[in-house]
Amino acid sequence: MKKLSSFSSVKFLTSSIATLAISLISSQSATAATIALGFTKLTGVTGGSPATTAVYRAEIPVLSFGEIASIVIKDISNGTGGTPGNVSGFDLDGIKLSYLAVDSAAAAKNISISDLVDVFDFTPTGTILTPGSQRPPTTPPLFGTTGGNVNNAVATLGNFDANSTTDPRRIFGFFSLGDNGQVEFKLKSPVSTNSPLYLYIGEVGDNGEVAAGEVIVSQPASPVPEPSGLAVLSLAGIYLAVRHRKKNKSQ
C-alpha cells in the first residue's frame, strides 16, 4: 500500500487544527441586542441659571441575557421646538445612570454619588457624536462641540447644571445634538442588569425638543460547549494523522 508522505500528514494535521480552532471560536462569539427606551418626564425643572432643564427618566428592565455596553440618545424633534442655529435639536444638559428611582427634576439633580453608576466616559473616545443638521445660521457650530466632538469642559454632562440661555456671555453646561443627531455613550465597563436601572437625561429649556434612547446589551460569549460535529471531525483528523506518523516511524 502507498504510504502517506510526511508533507501530506503535516498538511492534514495543520488543516485539522485550523478547523478545530474556527469551530471553537465560532461557539464563543459574543452577540449584542438593542433595546428601545421610553422616557417619562419628571415634575419640575432644574439646572443652572436660568434653571429650566426638564429631566426625563427611562427604566432599563432586568435582563437575564447580558450586560449594558453602551447607551444611545437620538434627537427626534423633527426640526421643531427649541431655537435654531448652534442650539438646533435636543440640547443635552446631562446624563445619569442609577439604581435609584426619583420623580422630580430636582431630585434627579441631587442623586448622591453613591447612588450613581459611574460608567460614563465623556471624552471623544467614550462619547461618540453624530451631529445632526443645523438650522440657519450654520455658524458657529453646534454648541458644546469642538471639531464634531462633544466638548465636556463646556457640556459638563455629569451634572444637570445648564444655563438656559443663548447669551454667548452666559451659555454653559450642555451640548446640542442638531436635528436628527445622536450620541453614543460607550460605557467604561459593562453594567449588570440584575436589578432595574434608571437612566436620566436633561433637556435644556423645556421647550418641546424631544429625544429617544436605546441601550446596547452585550451578550457574553457562552462557555465552550461539547465539541460540535465539525470539531469532533477535526479531533479525529488530528488523531489519525498522529497515529499514521507514529506507524511510519516504527516501520
pLDDT of residue 8: 46
| Burial grade of 239 (CB within 10 A; 0-12, 13-18, 19 or more) | exposed
Assess contact for 159 and 173: CB atoms under 8 A. Answer: yes
Mind listing the pLDDT tens digit for each residue in 59-76?
Answer: 999 987 889 999 999 999
Q: 158 or 13: which carries more pLDDT confidence? A: 158
So where are the chain's domains? Answer: 31-219
Average pLDDT for residues 160-174, to the nearest whole number? 96
Q: In the predicted model, is pLDDT for residue 27 greater than 70?
A: no
Average pLDDT for residues 9-14, to the nearest whole number? 41
For residues 185 and 198, what is the distance between their CA atoms, to the nearest angstrom?
Answer: 15
Assess contact for 210 and 81: CB atoms under 8 A. Answer: yes
Strands (E), 78-204: 91-98, 127-130, 145-146, 149-150, 175-176, 182-191, 197-203
Distances (CA, A) of 222 to 27, 29, 55, 58, 194: 7, 8, 38, 29, 18
Q: Which three cell numbers stand for residue 127?
A: 462619547
Average pLDDT for residues 102-116, to the nearest whole number? 97
Quick check: pTM over 0.85? no
